Amino acid sequence: MAMTTLPTPADLNITPRDRRFGRETAAPRLWHDGRVEATAIYNALSTTFPAGEAFFVESVRAFREGAPAKLADEIKGFTTQEAIHSREHDAFNKRATRSGYDLSKLEEQVEKRLAITRGKPAVVSLAATMALEHFTAILAHQLLADPSHLDGAEAETADLWRWHAVEEIEHKGVAYDSWLFATRDWPRWKRWKVKAKVMLYVTRNFVVDRTAGALELMRQDGVTGVRAWSLLLSYLWVRPGMFRKIAGAWFRFFLPGFHPWNEDDRHLLAAYSPIASGDDPKRKVRSAG
């Protein structure tokens, strides 16, 4: 099958921005609006990034060889961006640890999930990455589209999340295009069946694990039981309602002809202030290897 009709925009720039956050300012333990549940869910998410994004890099890089030049180039931009995200979220997680959270249970759960794909064919890891990258991209879209998600967050920490969201949107098609390339000889129905199964599987794990992780961190703040559940569920599903607001974009993944770039949402990147002010450094950064 020809690879010439990919909808990834021809003028797309995947720009690794080698920024560092929170090295000088001390964010409070409850950095997100002083709220236990808001801080907990973002901290739980951040806990997954260092190991999770290293796994994405490995999974996609395995298919770089033989890929068309444009895709190979995008893979390079993708791996560099993700490597820097891992570094910054590792630093973020260390600050959470210094402010008293014990993240070890959450980290063990991430390792447990990643261990399942080890020993399976490389295309299984690529499929999981492709599904999770769609998940990340729709979370990023929502985070930038609706500023209420970061209302009251400590300024530099909010910037870290916006910076990450910007780059997730820029590289949202890379794992998907790698998947299309890797499965170019598969019949359509098989491609769809595998991608749908994998998406349902990773979504279930994502929702269950992040909820459990957030509840564990809330427990460390002394909030438990019905009160913890109602605070968290209302935050995720009602207001600001991140999970409710991404539901439509999540469903579109299953439609025929889906591609992450069917929606060009690059106008949202301006929610990250260096881009809005034209101050976005396009400097060359060291490659992730």
- Answer whether 171's CB lies under 8 Å from 74's CB: yes
Pick from 235, 205, 189, 175: nearest CA to 32: 235
Q: Is 116 helix (H, G, I), strand (E, B) or coil?
A: helix
- Least Å distance, CB 175 to Fe ion, is 7
Closest to Fe ion by CB, 37 or 209? 209
Binding window for Fe ion (CB under 5 A); candidates: 119-127, 161-169, 205-213, 257-265: 161-169
Which amino acid makes up residue 111? E
Restricting to residues 111-140, name those near Fe ion by CB under 5 A.
136
Cβ pair 45, 52 in contact under 8 A: no
SS3 248: helix
In whole angstroms, how close is the CB of 187 to Fe ion at the nearest point?
28
Question: Which residues are CB-contacts of 61 (< 8 A; sequence separation ≥ 6)?
Answer: 75, 79
Q: How far is CA 289 from the centre of its chain?
A: 21
Omega prior to 240 cis, within 30 of 0: yes
Considering beta carbons, is residue 85 or 245 the nearer one to Fe ion?
85
Burial bucket for residue 223 (CB in 10 Å: 0-12, 13-18, 19+): middle
Q: Smallest distance from the beta carbon of 238 to Fe ion, in angstroms?
A: 27
Report the distance separating Cα 70 and Cα 250, nearest Å.
Answer: 27
Residue of this chain nearest to Fe ion (CB atom): 85
SS3 content of the chain, % helix, strand, coil (to 5): 65, 0, 30
Restricted to residues 174-203, the positions that interact with Fe ion (CB under 5 A) are none
Residue placing its CB nearer to Fe ion in the complex, 160 or 218: 160
Least separation in angstroms between residue 56's CB and Fe ion is: 6
Count other C-beta atoms under 10 Å from residue 126's C-beta. Answer: 25
Determine the interface stretch with Fe ion among 53-61, 111-119, 142-150, 234-242 (rule: CB under 5 A).
Answer: 53-61
The count of chain residues that interact with Fe ion, using the rule CB under 5 A, is 5
The stretch among 4-12, 52-60, 61-69, 143-151 that binds Fe ion (CB under 5 A) is: 52-60
Residue 53 Cβ vs Fe ion, minimum distance, rounded to whole Å: 5
Does residue 162 belong to the site contacting Fe ion (CB under 5 A)? no
CB of 209 to Fe ion, least distance (A): 17
**x/- binding map, residues 65-94, to Fe ion, per CB under 5 A?**
-----------------x--x---------
**Beta carbon nearer to Fe ion, 133 or 209:** 133
Q: Which stretch binds Fe ion (CB under 5 A): 21-29, 50-58, 93-101, 207-215?
A: 50-58
Q: Which helix (H) or strand (E) holds 236?
A: none
We find the least distance from the C-beta atom of residue 7 to Fe ion, in angstroms, to be: 18
Binding residues for Fe ion, per CB under 5 A?
Answer: 53, 82, 85, 136, 168
